Structure 1
């Protein structure tokens, strides 16, 4: 496994991170533990979760599962970069959601209890909250840092303008600000190249990619190795991209590599990417992508991929003169 700095911070994270959204509701606890063990053995140190994960088992269930895994061997905590998220509804309570200072404080305390740890390495805002003033958000995050409950702050699903606004406000407060943005990005979905990635690069924010295999569409024969269940919309997307996916498969055959490895290798050669989150439901799915950090695609292959899956181009040139 290889490691990269998380944005402009000095923190080193593995080029592949382990997403845990399926742990509990889709993958049994014993199988989840086996995947976690295998990931650590392979050198993956970024473990990503969220307070809302749990599916049919209820919100918080995945964090609780991770807490039980960590409790089995206290040395595991020192070996991982533990990341979780705040924003999504945790109950019917009108205040048990969003990015108010009250909810951030209470949600962090609840995550710490479920995880059984005294601090979270990377605390990520799961989504933009247009009702929450950025000053209020940073007040809450600064307090958590001062309390030793979190170390770094990241965002997820933020637009470029809010990444800029958040870090400008943090700078005015003499704070480090956001060190990472977790965004949807893959060969099929490249809109992050318009504004999000340029904003990340300008502010030294590391890009952590979710759904790098487009819900399994870029994985060839494996239906769902990046942890996104096939939905009606993804089936429709597969039909819409059938010809491009067939061409992609031929490139992978020419290289003698799996589609998953090629799609991940492409991401890891994109500017600004710190890590790509994989969400395997089985150990064999994890094993199938571990080669990706070692795979370097040559200029000809990268050009062929751009021809098949063209990006939107930079903003504003992509939509204006």
Structure 2
């Protein structure tokens, strides 16, 4: 039988996930990303959750359904500005509190997938095959001579002779018998050979400002979060471009700004070259994403 505390904790986690699901649109649209904590966990900011309890009302206000008002008017209590941010003099009431809740990558990805109704990804090619890996980390009582563990075998023989009283410390001769023999034993682990590559392309021309780049940073975070929950390994490549394109690292990708014009085809051609050179489409799951403000130098430029 589960302990009541465990049941309460499980119910609380469900409430937390519900709150995060309700605020997911805010996280994605306003750039309020969860904070990486390490060990595959994130800190997610969320409003404080108060324990349900009876509270005294304010005598200066009527209860719900009393006093003036029209159908559809809000009936929430509290004085205007009470406990809220805004202009004016300093107040004495408490402000709104926020919590930071620890969530694993899988939990966040599950919430994202459920809310956006994302499909489960099916890897392609032999990347969808299972492979078995044998690691000789255990000891068994049967096996071939090539896997015989001599140290453990003699140790078992010594234990047997001491238990039987036949061990002579002055003449320490240890003779293992068949029941003393120990062998290295393989632990078989099944691994899925599924990998993916994400290729981010971003316009860094003069028309792309800080606001647009922050949107790119937010969107790439959620894309990576989802794909990492679906694949064992993912590779990430970064391409920036104005009139010309080049491959860069992650830091350069988000910090670079140019003053030239925009030729989207330069990034698409470089992306195509990277795929043809390093990633066979029959074996790799490839996800290219292009970010731009939409201002292209020519409508004919997108023809490769």
Pair in the same fold by TM > 0.5: no
Higher strand share: 2
Higher helix share: 1
TM-score band (shorter)? under 0.3
Normalising by structure 1, report the TM-score. 0.20
Normalising by structure 2, report the TM-score. 0.20
